[in-house]
Amino acid sequence: MKLFSHTHPRKNILSYQPWHIQVDGQWQTLEIIRGREQGKTIVAQLKNINDCEQARSMIGIDLYIEKSQLPKLSEGEHYWEDLIGLEVINQKGISLGKVVNLVDTGANNVLVVNGEKEPSSGEDRKEHWVPYIEPFLISVDLDKQQILVDWDENF
């Protein structure tokens, strides 16, 4: 089956075993028989997945690994998963919202920040796309669950 991997480089997904999936609320473990790069994708053969119909039933299912399988990062480096849900505050002390996703634009990564609903009107606040690079990124404090950025709340 073909896979899309968020690892860098993409083929690194093959070094993390086992893989886990969630189907109908139940966790299952997948055993990799073999895998390789094929163009810009990864292909893998999985134990007990023996035909196209079985593989087709897995389209759109996310793969998970144990966090303990990931390499330790240097100080100041963070896995994307650790940034999801952190509050983003600008230098004026204004909360822009919480990180809901990160996007790799090719040039750099971008924090996707969604504000909470306005208390007075109930309308959604602005979504901000903040480059995850200096000079816009000032600091990440996992203990405080906050990211400090140099970003205008109206941008």
Q: Is 41 helix (H, G, I), strand (E, B) or coil?
A: strand
* 83-106-68 Cα angle (round to 5): 40
Residues 106-133: tens digit of each pLDDT: 889 999 999 876 656 666 678 999 999 9
155 in a structural domain: no
Residue 17 sits in which domain range? 2-68
Q: How many structural domains are present in the chain?
A: 2
Choosing from 10, 42, 68, the residue where a domain stops is 68
135 in a structural domain: yes
The rounded distance, in Å, linking the Cα atoms of 115 and 107 is 25
Domain with 138 in it: what CATH number? 2.30.30.240
Q: Is the confidence at residue 1, as pLDDT, over 90?
A: no
Task: Answer left, alpha or beta for residue 93, where phi above 0 means left and psi between -120 and 50 means alpha.
Answer: left
Select from 39, 32, 1 the least CA-distant residue to 17: 32
Q: How would you classify the pairing of strands 146-149 and 87-90?
A: parallel
Mean pLDDT value across the chain: 89
Residues 57-78: tens digit of each pLDDT: 888 888 899 888 888 899 889 9
96 in a structural domain: yes
pLDDT class of 142 with cuts at 50, 70, 90: very high
* Same domain, yes or no: 7 and 47: yes
* Same domain, yes or no: 27 and 7: yes
The rounded distance, in Å, linking the Cα atoms of 10 and 134 is 25
Peptide bond into 135 cis (omega under 30): yes
User: Are 125 and 109 within 8 A, CB to CB?
Assistant: no
* Same domain, yes or no: 95 and 64: no
